[in-house]
Homo-oligomer: A and B are copies of this chain.
Amino acid sequence: MNQPSISSPSARGPADHDIRNQIVAAANEHFSQYGYGKTTVSDLAKAIGFSKAYIYKFFDSKQAIGNAICANCLAEIVAAVEQAINVETLSPTERFRRLVKTLIATGASLFFNDRKLYDIAAFSASERWPSSQVYDTRIKQFILQIVREGREIGEFERKTPLDETVDAIHLALRPFVNPLLLQHNLDCVEEAPALTSNLILRSLMP
């Protein structure tokens, strides 16, 4: 099943929510140690001290648990980006530079500091889990927001259809957004933020 549902119908209410979080936290720790690919729900149940059936009351599959972990992790990257770019005084150009820099820095840091979690993110990207789709959509919204603002105040060109501009930038940032690509691109994370931002910003000049 490539599209795990986020929760099974039986998991509702604040108490259930706590148990879900407890399972996710325990699974996160377990995966961090043994890897996502090699762990089964049975292993997980044993490690947490719950029955397998009990875990299945809250999650349809291992993928659904992985998806929840991944969603938390990607939400942190989104929060870091939001914090970096949502500063009143910044120009769209500066906002864009910060977007690229933060995306590359947080992605690379995840790879180097929490490799097993990174691997779950790579699974998520390769199998297009909801967490990875939500993340991708969120990044695209950031790009749209900055490009639109830059066009409104005359900092960016307006001749190219907005959709095309946003799609092209989104594609150009993909090697740094998608963990499957980023892992083969880590040798250029030093020079990439400036080179890539400058190129894209030149393409946006009026």
Interface residues in chain A, defined as those with a beta carbon under 8 Å from any beta carbon in chain B? 125-126, 157, 160, 164-165, 167-169, 171-172, 174-175, 178, 180-181, 184-185, 188, 191-192, 195-196, 198-200, 202-205
State whether B192 touches A171 (Cβ < 8 A).
Answer: yes
Main secondary structure of the interface of A (DSSP, over half): helix
A146: shortest Cβ distance to chain B, in Å?
15
B164 touches A195 (CB 8 A): yes
B residues less than 8 Å from A204 (CB atoms):
202
Given known A-B contacts A200-B203, A203-B202, A203-B203, A185 and B174 have beta carbons under 8 A apart:
yes
Q: A198-B160, A200-B199 are in contact. Are A175 and B181 (CB under 8 A)?
A: yes
Query: In the assembly, what is the distance between CA of A126 and CA of B125, in Å?
Result: 21
**By the criterion CB–CB under 8 Å, are B196 and A185 in contact?**
no
Knowing that A164-B195, A171-B192 touch, tell me 16 more A-B residue pairs with CB under 8 angstroms. Answer: A126-B184, A160-B202, A167-B191, A169-B199, A171-B195, A172-B172, A172-B196, A174-B188, A175-B175, A175-B185, A181-B185, A184-B184, A199-B200, A200-B203, A203-B203, A205-B205
Distance (Å) between the CB of A177 and the closest chain B CB?
11
| Complex A-B: 20 CB contacts under 8 Å | A160-B198, A160-B202, A164-B198, A165-B199, A167-B191, A167-B195, A168-B196, A168-B199, A171-B192, A171-B196, A172-B172, A172-B196, A174-B188, A175-B181, A180-B184, A181-B181, A181-B185, A199-B200, A199-B203, A205-B205
